[in-house]
């Protein structure tokens, strides 16, 4: 919420001086903030970070005070340094569950630096000897990898720039590689780089993209990284949509103070981190996080079930005219569709998950998505689908095809992503504004082809950065996507979803509803 002009308000503004005067029901940091020293840097201080890693860190500081203050770095909008700076780094985290609201002021962020125009402020923090842990939420596309393969996209304009200008980088991989180089030459202290984004094997992908830079730099950087840097994978979870003016007004109305950096989340939270660190480690495992040897089963569970459901509800929801996830879940057809998809097709693709029953997790996830106080817009979740559908939908589809199992339901949201972008094209009347690195490409395809689902599917499946060529060539997958795209682009997309739901399983095991 940075950069907004502040309305004149009779209420006090949140800052350290206000802490002692807040209503008793508002939680406050249970440690001496004045003694807090920076030890963690976080790139991408959005709503999710403030609701998740910063809260875990706040819990840790209260339980076991140590040198783990957070320094936030934004390398993309919004500007946040001033907004949070005025508040001494403090902000309110609301937990909302239908009509219940619970407020707590989080104190773990000591400072936020804006580094949108120039990497220098970011590099200064990241290379500091005080920083022993770097976490990040930079969105799926921040890694500049090719979603279908995980490799660094060497044609990405920021990567082309950073490889040519390694000392003035713009991309996340370029900034991290440069920061590591500065650490190597100045003090050599080890560091953990911990991805908290929903990409598959996020630590492995992060390690790969950073190493590709390091290898090109030469100068012993790749060897130093091998010896002194760890890239653990992690699964992170809490639904925390973009903050709205209404959220800021709720804090003022209910608790009597003004806070421009409010965040809102659900009660549920989870953080599973691969036990592979370099240097000192904030013991988040003492406050609810789990350190494990292998994150893969947790990651599949979360991305295929919870995120898979969100993505499905977002595309089908927009096509059906629903604004938020909870509105889509209140529709009996969509709720039935997503439950059947998860239990019949997604669940069997999951590995055993230590301590978690996948069927119970499915029910818990669906229940989370009905929370009407979490105003998660379908268009927000629909953003950057090209970077999300592999881990949420295409990987379970690939696993099922390998075993000859039905993919009739999982194919529908894949076609949903296509229909969402096709309908944003000029030829389809620009139904809504969209944001996706492949939006332009798909709009051009739609403008050229028009309403021919078969030709549209063929052209979109040929985008090999999104669809692995082996999957795109699979006749069953193609036939299901064509049928679903036709249904979703028709005048009655919800009627189509209803029909798919009504079909008995044994029919769906073989052929799509309409053959190509
Ligand atoms: C959402 C996620 O916008 C999206 O892609 O699916 O941000 C989701 O809410 C989180 O992963 C929940 O942990």
Tell me how far CA of residue 228 lies from CA of 189, 225, 248, 513, in angstroms.
Answer: 7, 5, 43, 55
Q: Which of 409, 413, 422, 402 is nearest to 468 (CA)?
A: 402
Q: Output the CA 431–ligand 1 centroid distance in Å.
A: 24
Q: Output the CA 218–ligand 1 centroid distance in Å.
A: 37
**Ligand 1 atom showing the smallest separation from residue 384 Cα:** 5
Per-residue pLDDT tens digits for 79-133: 999 999 999 999 999 999 988 999 999 999 999 999 999 999 999 999 999 999 9
Q: Does the CB atom of residue 365 touch ligand 1 within 6 A?
A: no
Nearest CA to ligand 1 atom 13: 237
**Ligand 1 atom showing the smallest separation from residue 307 Cα:** 6
Token pair belonging to 211: 């190493």
CATH class in words for 12-292:
alpha beta
Looking at the chain, the whole-number percentage of residues with pLDDT higher than 90 is 94
Q: Does the CB atom of residue 239 touch ligand 1 within 6 A?
A: yes
Per-residue pLDDT tens digits for 388-399: 999 999 999 999
Look at residue 246 in the predicted model and tell me its pLDDT: 95
**Stated length of the chain:** 516
Q: Does the CB atom of residue 310 touch ligand 1 within 6 A?
A: yes
Q: Does the CB atom of residue 235 touch ligand 1 within 6 A?
A: no
Per-residue confidence band for 425, with pLDDT thresholds at 50, 70 and 90: very high
Is residue 5 classed exposed, middle or buried when 0-12, 13-18 and 19+ CB atoms within 10 A define those classes? exposed
Query: Could you give the dihedral angle defined by the CA atoms of residues 261, 264, 268 and 274, in that order, rounded to the nearest 10 degrees?
Result: -30
**Ligand 1 atom showing the smallest separation from residue 311 Cα:** 6
**Ligand 1 atom showing the smallest separation from residue 237 Cα:** 13
Per-residue pLDDT tens digits for 237-268: 999 999 999 999 999 999 999 999 999 999 99
Q: Output the CA 45–ligand 1 centroid distance in Å.
A: 15
Architecture of the domain defined by 296-514: Orthogonal Bundle (1.10)
Q: Does the CB atom of residue 272 touch ligand 1 within 6 A?
A: no
Looking at the chain, the whole-number percentage of residues with pLDDT higher than 70 is 96
The residue whose CB lies within 8 Å of the most ligand 1 atoms, and thus the one to mutate among 239, 272, 326, 434, is 239
Nearest CA to ligand 1 atom 1: 381
Per-residue pLDDT tens digits for 318-339: 999 999 999 999 999 999 999 9
Global pTM reads 0.95
Domain ranges in the chain are 12-292, 296-514
Q: Output the CA 388–ligand 1 centroid distance in Å.
A: 10
The residue whose CB lies within 8 Å of the most ligand 1 atoms, and thus the one to mutate among 307, 383, 388, 391, is 307
Between 98 and 170, the higher pLDDT residue: 170
Mean pLDDT of 448-474: 98
Q: Which of 169, 55, 185 is nearest to 122 (CA)?
A: 169
What is the distance between the alpha carbons of residues 407 and 416, in angstroms, rounded to a whole number? 14
Cβ atoms of residues 512 and 482 within 8 Å: yes
The residue whose CB lies within 8 Å of the most ligand 1 atoms, and thus the one to mutate among 195, 202, 310, is 310
Strand order in the sheet with 234-237: 234-237, 270-274, 290-292
What is the distance between the alpha carbons of residues 345 and 397, in angstroms, rounded to a whole number? 8
Q: What angle do CA 241, 437, 415 make, to 5 degrees?
A: 80
For residue 516, pLDDT over 70 is answered with: no
Per-residue confidence band for 511, with pLDDT thresholds at 50, 70 and 90: low
Q: Does the CB atom of residue 391 touch ligand 1 within 6 A?
A: no
């Amino acid at each position: 919420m940075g950069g907004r002009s502040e309305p004149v308000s009779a209420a006090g503004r949140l800052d350290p001086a206000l802490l002692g005067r807040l209503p008793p029901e508002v939680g406050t940091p249970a440690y001496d903030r004045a003694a807090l020293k920076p030890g963690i840097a976080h790139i991408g201080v959005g709503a999710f970070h403030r609701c998740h890693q910063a809260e875990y860190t706040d819990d840790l500081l209260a339980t076991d005070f140590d040198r783990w203050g957070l320094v936030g770095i934004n390398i993309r909008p919004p500007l946040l340094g001033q907004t949070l700076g005025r508040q001494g780094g403090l902000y309110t985290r609301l937990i909302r569950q239908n009509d219940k609201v619970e407020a707590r002021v989080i104190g773990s962020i000591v400072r936020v630096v804006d580094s949108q125009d120039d990497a220098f402020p970011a590099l200064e923090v990241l290379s500091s000897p005080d920083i022993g842990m770097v976490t990040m939420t930079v969105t799926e596309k921040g890694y500049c990898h090719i979603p279908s393969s995980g490799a660094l996209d060497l044609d990405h304009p920021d990567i082309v720039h950073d490889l040519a200008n390694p000392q003035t980088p713009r991309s996340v991989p370029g900034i991290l590689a440069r920061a590591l180089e500065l650490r190597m030459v100045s003090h050599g202290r080890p560091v953990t780089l911990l991805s908290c984004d929903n990409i598959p094997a996020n630590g492995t992908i992060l390690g790969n993209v950073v190493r590709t830079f390091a290898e090109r730099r030469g100068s012993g950087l790749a060897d130093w990284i091998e010896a002194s840097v760890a890239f653990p994978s992690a699964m992170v979870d809490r639904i925390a949509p973009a903050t709205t003016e209404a959220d800021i007004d709720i804090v003022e109305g209910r608790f009597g103070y003004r806070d421009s950096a409010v965040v809102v989340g659900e009660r549920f939270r989870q953080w599973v981190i691969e036990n592979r660190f370099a240097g000192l480690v904030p013991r988040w495992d003492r406050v609810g996080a789990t350190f494990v040897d292998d994150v893969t089963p947790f990651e599949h569970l979360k991305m295929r079930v919870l995120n898979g459901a969100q993505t499905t509800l977002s595309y089908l929801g927009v096509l059906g005219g629903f604004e938020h996830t909870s509105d889509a879940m209140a529709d009996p057809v969509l709720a039935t569709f997503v439950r059947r998809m998860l239990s019949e097709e997604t669940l069997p693709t999951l590995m055993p998950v230590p301590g978690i029953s996948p069927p119970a997790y499915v029910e818990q996830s669906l229940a989370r998505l009905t929370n009407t106080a979490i105003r998660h817009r379908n268009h927000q979740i629909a953003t950057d689908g090209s970077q999300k559908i592999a881990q949420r939908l295409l990987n379970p589809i690939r696993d099922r095809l390998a075993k000859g199992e039905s993919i009739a339901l999982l194919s529908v949201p894949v076609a949903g992503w296509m229909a969402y972008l096709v309908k944003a094209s000029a030829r389809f009347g620009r139904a809504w504004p969209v944001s996706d690195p492949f939006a332009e490409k798909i709009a051009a395809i739609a403008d050229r082809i028009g309403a021919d689902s078969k030709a549209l599917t063929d052209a979109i499946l040929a985008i090999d950065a999104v669809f692995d060529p082996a999957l795109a060539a699979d006749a069953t997958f193609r036939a299901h996507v064509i049928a679903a795209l036709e249904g979703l682009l028709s005048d009655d997309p919800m009627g189509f979803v209803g029909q798919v739901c009504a079909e008995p399983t044994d029919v769906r095991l073989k052929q799509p509803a309409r053959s190509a």
